[in-house]
C-alpha cells in the first residue's frame, strides 16, 4: 500500500510545480481542476486558506517568477491519499512544504497544503 508508481509521483510533482506558476495560478479553470473542494491551506504566514479564498486571490495575484523546488518526497498514505514534501527557494526566501493529494479520482486533487517559512534563509 505504501508504494507509489513513478508515473503517479511524477504527475503529482508536476501538479505541485504547476501550482507555483503564474500561468496556473491565474487560470481559474485549471485551479478548480487541481484544488479539492474541501481544500485547506496553511500559508507560510500562518494564514488559513480555503479553496474559495485561493480561487479569488490567486487569479488576481500579480505575475511572479516561478520559484525553484528540490528535496521532493512522495509517499502513499493509504489507497486514496499521497503525502508530498519539498522545499521552495525564491530569491533569499526558503520554505518547506507539505501537501496531501486525493488520488481517488482520475486526476489527483490537492486536499491539504502547508508551507513553513525558514526565516533565517538557511538551506537545511
Sketch the domain layout of the chain as residue ranges.
6-117
Give the C-alpha separation, 124 to 122, whole Å.
6
CATH tag for 6-117 (out of 3.30.70.330, 3.40.50.300, 3.10.450.50, 3.40.50.150): 3.10.450.50
Give the C-alpha separation, 123 to 38, whole Å.
32
Q: What is the pLDDT of residue 121?
A: 52
- What's the pTM value of the predicted model, to 2 decimals? 0.90
pLDDT at 124 over 60: no
Q: What is the pLDDT of residue 122?
A: 53
Q: What is the pLDDT of residue 111?
A: 98
* Cα 7-85-115 angle, rounded to 5 deg: 135
pLDDT in tens, 16-48: 999 999 999 999 999 999 999 999 999 888 899
Contact 85, 71 (CB under 8 A): yes
User: Which 8-state DSSP code applies to residue 90?
Assistant: E
pLDDT band at 3 (very low <50, low <70, confident <90, very high): confident
Question: 7: helix, coil or strand?
Answer: helix
Q: What is the pLDDT of residue 83?
A: 98
Amino acid at each position: 500500500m505504501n508504494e507509489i508508481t513513478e508515473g503517479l509521483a511524477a504527475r503529482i510533482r508536476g501538479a505541485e510545480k504547476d501550482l507555483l506558476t503564474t500561468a496556473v495560478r491565474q487560470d481559474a479553470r485549471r485551479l478548480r481542476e487541481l484544488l479539492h473542494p474541501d481544500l485547506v491551506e496553511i500559508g507560510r504566514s500562518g494564514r488559513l486558506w480555503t479553496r474559495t479564498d485561493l480561487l479569488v486571490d490567486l487569479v488576481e495575484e500579480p505575475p511572479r517568477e516561478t520559484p525553484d523546488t528540490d528535496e521532493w518526497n512522495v509517499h502513499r498514505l493509504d489507497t486514496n491519499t499521497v503525502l508530498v514534501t519539498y522545499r521552495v527557494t525564491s530569491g533569499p526566501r526558503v520554505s518547506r512544504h507539505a501537501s496531501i493529494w486525493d488520488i481517488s479520482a482520475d486526476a489527483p486533487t490537492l486536499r491539504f497544503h502547508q508551507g513553513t517559512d525558514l526565516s533565517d534563509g538557511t538551506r537545511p
